[in-house]
Amino acid sequence: MLHAWAEDTAALLDGNGWPPTWPAPPAVVFHHRAGARGAAGPRGATVRWDGATLHVVAAGPTEAVEAVVEALFGRWAGFGPQQARVAAVVAGAVVAPARAPTAVPASMDDQQRLHRRLDDLFAEWSVWQNLVLAYAGEVHAAGVAADAGTYRRRVAPAGPGGRARRLWGWPAGRHRAGQPSPEAPGVAERLVGLAIPRPNLMPENYPAELALAQRHGITRARLGTDAVMELARFQPQVKGVLTRDGEVLLIPKSLPGGREDDVEFTHAFAAAGRDVQLAFTAELRLDGDQLVVVELNAWSGHYNDGNTLQENWRVVHRAGAVFRMHGVLVHEVEAEIRHRAQPMGR
């Protein structure tokens, strides 16, 4: 993905414009800056917005790549400001590996603290987590790895599931009477660590997937809220994920009343592009005020592609258990698990 970002930036530098895969990208104007690097940006590049146009002032192509990654690509990937800044430094190191020697923290304790900060900062993106750790020297030299504890306290006050909802804007919804609340002490916490987190296998598609969902007004519904009951009424075919924080987020599989060839929304959108513990597809029904799952499978190309039958059986079994923990009736799906637990779809 980093190489794709670099190639797209190079196309912009050459005046070829954006490739058609990006959703409604802004105009980007590059300005050459002669002389020594400044202090703004990961390696000295500066950016400013003039209406819908992004102006990048850089001394060369590598600085331009870093600036565009921080200002655009990183944000489109779902990163926060500090994560995008670190990703920009890594992008520069990838496209210009011999640009300059990298410094490392002087002591082993400092190196371990840096690794812990980076590990924590990208805890929900395991692929990026491994990548930034491989380029820890560049990140340290650029001075962009602020204390992760400070970062978390600033954007995510303590509380069950608070980090995900506050930082990423997942809708809280209103708790449905008669169902266990996800906010109740012990519910979300009991689901943390249920399964080994798995990454989004198609991160390069996430910006377009996000734009598609936003264009149709699709939002994520947290299990236990009225929003899920509305899904069961109007679009019972859903895709869902169990987040690392123990929350279950559901989205419609497609538009209500849509045709077979209609748009399909992705598990990556449900997860905001992050790692998840489980990804599954389900069909919901209402029996009065009781939410019922009538079909459950492991169809998710974004997270379950390449799974064995046994691994998919485990996904479905655990997803059923998660629904039951939230007071949802899982109706006679166990007998069909072995036949339906196979990766397919988006």
Query: Is the residue at 291 inside a domain?
Result: yes
- Tell me the pLDDT of the chain averaged across its residues: 78
Contact present, 145 and 121 (Cβ < 8 Å): yes
Q: Which two three-digit tokens encode residue 318?
A: 């655990």
The predicted-structure confidence for 118-154, as pLDDT tens digits, reads as follows 888 898 898 898 888 888 888 877 777 655 443 332 3
The single-letter code of the amino acid at 266 is T
What mean pLDDT comes out for the span 8-28? Answer: 83
Query: Is the residue at 203 inside a domain?
Result: yes
Contact present, 33 and 58 (Cβ < 8 Å): yes
Same domain, 139 and 184: no
Same domain, 105 and 218: no
The predicted-structure confidence for 268-285, as pLDDT tens digits, reads as follows 999 999 999 999 999 999
How many domains in the chain? 2
Q: What is the DSSP string of 235-292?
A: --EEEEEEETTS-EEEEESB-TT--TTS-B--HHHHTTT--EEEEEEEEEEEETTEEE
Same domain, 185 and 323: yes
Query: Is the residue at 156 inside a domain?
Result: no
Q: Which domain holds residue 309?
A: 179-340
Same domain, 327 and 191: yes
Same domain, 67 and 206: no
The predicted-structure confidence for 191-247, as pLDDT tens digits, reads as follows 887 888 999 999 888 988 998 998 899 999 999 899 999 999 999 999 999 999 999
Same domain, 86 and 210: no
How many whole angstroms separate alpha carbon 127 and alpha carbon 293? Answer: 32
How many whole angstroms separate alpha carbon 32 and alpha carbon 37? Answer: 12
